[in-house]
Structure 1
Amino acid sequence: MLDPHRLRVFRAVVGSGSVQAAADNLGLTSSAVSQHLSALARETGLVLFQRQGRGIAATPAGLELATQTEEAMRQWDRLDSVVTDLRDGRSGRITVGYFASAGSAWMPALVKRLTFEQPDLTVDLVLTEVTSRNVTPDIDVVIDPPDGGGRAGYRRVHLASDPFVAVVPSDSELATRRSVALADLRGETWVSNDLTGSLGHRIVMSACAAAGFTPRFTVQAQEHHSAIQFVAAGVGISVMPRLAARALPPEVLRLRITDPTPVREISALVRETGRPNPAAERLLEMLLELNTHPSRRGRPGGG
């Protein structure tokens, strides 16, 4: 079995590109670092580094080992944290997955409130819509696929319907309206705010097809913060979920979309472990309450 401490030293050398730099970062001597590297090479039977000028560089095998051990070391660090929590008397830990707009709109207030109620709780947040990590969140806030597919080991709880809106420059002709038919955006220059092929992108494209056109994207911003700034600069318009268009600069306005209105459904996937998880159930209560009574957001200890 590989020694986690040696792997940590090895990864520090790969990351810093220098035995001495890794030693300085880890608070070790360069001799101790070299000994760990030699021991790891014997354990694995691999040539991990090669001479490069006056220094060393990871071999292809070394780079691959560093890549493949990333998740294992993250899990080892998590186990270290669990042991520390137990030793220090902290009562629990919860892993919460989320997507970007839910993260910025909901998570800060929810985490503040949850940890106010449960001071010994450690909350790990994971942006599950983009992560390549093999994580199993206790609660994962997700966008429902149109086919309503589930996830093994989880129960689905619907949280909210999130309609898409048109984000337009405040000095445009469109800004004189309160709502706009989707077909009326046919001739506009569009700025994307999601990855092509993503669930949100497919929802928009399907609605546009139903309205009889295909939008013309000239900027692939691929996330809503940048897309909003492109709209503010007058580059074009963007169609994004209302949750993503909460905070807008004065140069931008938000319009309701009709005929049809693209909508995404948001749910919480709650992990079923066969044992009680009070923190997860409390967070689920808060998510449901937040979407039933939006005015209560962000009040630590509030009802």
Structure 2
Amino acid sequence: MLDTQRLRVFRSVVASGTVAAAADNLGYTPSAVSQHITALARETGLNLFERVGRGLRPTAAGLALADQADAVLARLGEAEAVVADLRAGRTGTVSLGYFASAGSAWLPHVVTRLTGEFPDVRLDLSLLEYLPDDPAHRPDLQVAVARPGWTPRPGFTAHHLLDDPYVAVVPRTHRLAGVAEVELAELAGEQWVDNDAAQGACRAVLLEACTAAGFAPSFHVEAADYPTAIAFVDAGIGLTVLPVLGTRALPAGLCTVRVVRPTPVRSIMAVLRDAAAHTPPVRAALETLRGVAATCA
């Protein structure tokens, strides 16, 4: 069995580049670090490093072991956190995942309630723009965007929270400012600012609607998030089309126009791990999400 402390030291040397730097980062002596690396090499029967000038470069075997060590040490860290919770008298951990616009709009309400009602429960929050493919990496509750017809994997249940329509964000000096609605096809000739990851579910919803309207938008500038895209629109670079939930804090110089025929709509779900769904903190989190989503409908 591999010694986890040797793995920690090994990973530090890989990240630090030299034994001396790793020793300084870990608070060890260089001799102690070298002993750990030598022992790990002997334990594995692998040549883990090669010398390059005054530094060290991991071999192909060393890089492969480093990748595995990251996963092992991450899981060990999770176990250590559980032990710390138990020692401190905390009753457990609830993991919550969210995407950016839902995080800023809804998560403060959830966290306020959970920390108030369940002060001994540790909250593990993570920004997740996608549902992880591996069920083991999914949180107890994740606020996620789902495509039409999507169903969760076995062991998970999805609860619909909100259908979030898209709107065009334009400067108040734009020809469309002040109109009640605009057909999506009328935006075909505009300069578009992208606002999501290339493979993002929210972007896919928009592109499918544009295809239905008979065109593919030409993105003049690409941004990977709503605040940056909105800042580009505010600078006069173009317009962007995004869900209403992402327009909560528009600059004074911008306005929104409802998009119709067709209206892109993203469905927001709360995806719960069945094994945790019955616990009071997760039930409270879902109840709070339903409440705040209802105010946005």
Query: What does 1:123-162 align with in structure 2 at a 5 Å threshold?
Result: 123-129=123-129, 135-162=137-164
Which residue in the other structure is 1:55 paired with?
A: 55
1:120 shift after superposition: 1.3
Q: Which of 271, 281, 284 pairs up with 2:283?
A: 281
Return the alpha-carbon distance in structure 2 between the equivalents of residues 66 and 251 of structure 1: 50
Which residue in the other structure is 1:194 paired with?
A: 196
**Residue 168 of structure 2 aligns to which amino acid in structure 1?**
A
Q: 5+ residue gaps in structure 1?
A: 296-303
Q: Which of 268, 272, 277 pairs up with 1:266?
A: 268
Distance 1:23 1:159, change over 3 A: same
SS of 2:177's equivalent in the other structure is helix
Task: Find out whether 1:72 has 2:91 as its counterpart.
Answer: no
Deviates more, 1:187-196 or 1:82-91: 187-196
TM-score between the two structures when normalised by the length of structure 2: 0.92
Q: How many residues align?
A: 295
Which residue in the other structure is 1:46 paired with?
A: 46
TM-score between the two structures when normalised by the length of structure 1: 0.90
CA contact (8 A) 2:277 2:283 kept: no
1:94 shift after superposition: 0.8
1:69 shift after superposition: 2.4
Alignment root-mean-square deviation, CA: 2.1
SS of 2:176's equivalent in the other structure is helix
Which residue in the other structure is 2:252 paired with?
A: 250
1:115 shift after superposition: 1.0
Overall identity of the aligned pairs, in %: 48
Return the alpha-carbon distance in structure 2 between the equivalents of residues 253 and 31 of structure 1: 64
1:148 shift after superposition: 2.1
Q: 5+ residue gaps in structure 2?
A: none
Distance 1:147 1:125, change over 3 A: same
Task: Find out whether 1:17 has 2:14 as its counterpart.
Answer: no
1:274 shift after superposition: 7.6
Task: Find out whether 1:100 has 2:105 as its counterpart.
Answer: no
SS of 1:68's equivalent in the other structure is helix
Which residue in the other structure is 1:182 paired with?
A: 184
SS of 1:236's equivalent in the other structure is coil
Which residue in the other structure is 1:299 paired with?
A: none
1:180 shift after superposition: 2.0
Distance 1:61 1:170, change over 3 A: farther
SS of 2:37's equivalent in the other structure is helix
Query: What does 1:281-300 align with in structure 2 at a 5 Å threshold?
Result: 281-293=283-295
String of CA shifts for 1:80-101, please: whole Å, max 9, x gaps: 0100110111111011122222
String of CA shifts for 1:6-55, please: whole Å, max 9, x gaps: 11111111111122222222222222111111111112222111111122
Return the alpha-carbon distance in structure 2 between the equivalents of residues 72 and 127 of structure 1: 22
Detail structure 1 runs of 4+ shifted over 6 Å in the superposition.
Answer: none
1:174 shift after superposition: 1.6
Return the alpha-carbon distance in structure 2 between the equivalents of residues 269 and 237 of structure 1: 32
Return the alpha-carbon distance in structure 2 between the equivalents of residues 55 and 210 of structure 1: 57
SS of 1:175's equivalent in the other structure is coil
Distance 1:95 1:248, change over 3 A: same
CA contact (8 A) 2:96 2:140 kept: yes
1:132 shift after superposition: 8.4
**Residue 177 of structure 1 aligns to which amino acid in structure 2?**
V
